[in-house]
Amino acid sequence: MSKIFDFEGRVALITGGSLGIGKECVKIFTSFGIKTYFSYNKHKREAEKIEKETGAKGFKLNLSSKEDIKKFIKTFKKETNYLDFLIHNAGIWDYFEIGKTNFKVWENLIQINLNSIGFLTNGLIDLMLKRGGGSIVLVSSTAGRRGEAYHSHYSATKSALIGLAKSWAAELGPKGIRTNAVAPGWVNTPMSKESLKDEKFKKALIQKIPLRRIPEPEDIAYPILFLISPWAKHINGAVLDVNGGAVLLEG
């Protein structure tokens, strides 16, 4: 199966690679022969486990800290001289009721879900330019396509990622770097675990998804692999909806 695409000698960085969609990306990328690095923050045990399982290398990285990102960029550049694939997957999702929630909640999420992406890409893009090309994939969300009440800060960042994908596609495309986004809806990940424990809520949620199922992380990771593959070599600035058609209906 891994011979479908030629990824020999290719290097990838996946943020948030110890859990959920990121973890599946690490597993799938390494199975296709991609030399894979990933970042994690709090989940050291899970990161060490995925390292042993796949041979990928993890780096602890706190995306809420600009200084930590600076240090990571320096460390990563000592590790490799090139980067072919950059997958911006790490992010958080929490509650924000406008006018009632402490604004620090807003600022923290914006830093992690948006500012860190610009800062990290800005610091690593030279590694992709050395290759003469590459691929960036941003993990957006249905919330960025249609909004989400009580999570406006989250929705704003995911809308921004769509804007980044289109802007970087135009800016970096002539330099051989393609940029695209994927927009999942609900996914069976640790981030969704608590919400999906409520069977009544889960049942109602499934009824809003035309395919009538909540996807597993690999259902998002394989489309990400497709976007970095030679099969997608003329796809640039696109938003791939991987949400079972949920984005077509009201939230």
What are the catalytic residues? 154
Alpha-carbon gap, residue 80 to 126, rounded angstroms: 12
Residue pair 68/112 in contact by the 8 Å Cβ criterion: no
Residue pair 144/243 in contact by the 8 Å Cβ criterion: no
- Paired tokens of 34: 């991609």
- Candidates 181, 182, 188; CA nearest to 206 is 188
Question: Which H or E run contains 86?
Answer: strand 85-88
Kindly tell me the number of DSSP H helices and DSSP E strands found in the chain.
10, 7
Residue pair 206/195 in contact by the 8 Å Cβ criterion: no
Alpha-carbon gap, residue 93 to 95, rounded angstroms: 7
- Candidates 58, 11, 6, 51; CA nearest to 32 is 6
Tell me how long the chain is: 251
Alpha-carbon gap, residue 73 to 39, rounded angstroms: 11
- Paired tokens of 87: 């997958």
